[in-house]
Chains A and B, each alone.
Chain A
Amino acid sequence: DIQMTQSPSTLSASVGDRVTITCRTSESTFESLAWYQQKPGRAPKLLIYKASTLQGDVSSRFSGSGYGTEFTLTISSLQPDDFATYYCHHYGDYSPAFGPGTRVDIK
């Protein structure tokens, strides 16, 4: 099974900062990689799929890139609503997996 890592595990940032989160997989997932945002007590929200495709109602300040085993989620200018935990998700085969998560909190 593909193993997932995310870095950093926690990130402290201020409103307006540019934020980058990295997800690495132990084997190539090609471009079958998604990103979710989750707030406490809420269900995850799909932000990006196919490594870089923005889900329909998601703000353009979110962007994704990468291919194979290394992927990034970037928030161009952090907004108060963006403080949350972010998960990557490999879905390219019959052993999908989520990364351990990156918590973005207020500096």
Chain B
Amino acid sequence: QVQLLESGGGVVQRGGSLRLSCAASGFSFSSFGFHWVRQAPGKGLEWVAFIRYDGTYKYYANSVKGRFTISRDNSRNTLFLQMDSLREDDSAVYYCAKDSSRFGEFLSSWGQGTLVTVSS
């Protein structure tokens, strides 16, 4: 079955960096696009970034463009999110989510999330 396991969250100071990972198993990782979605405490879901199945196209929310970088390693079945210049409003649970297709449609499976806290 599909398993997505995020890691790398933690407490970081404002302006700092953090790299999230999402280890995937149970399916053909290289055949699907992937998303990062975040949820601030007590708030709704906010889409953050998407990468196509082969890593050729990457898209970002305006709120993180220029600061976050999504990437993937298809040989290791792993998705990444490099987060730089972190701000307090980046504090959230970050979910990786498998897309239903190669190019970006609905989010068919979600990980359990990893908490990022940005302190001042």
Partners in one complex: no
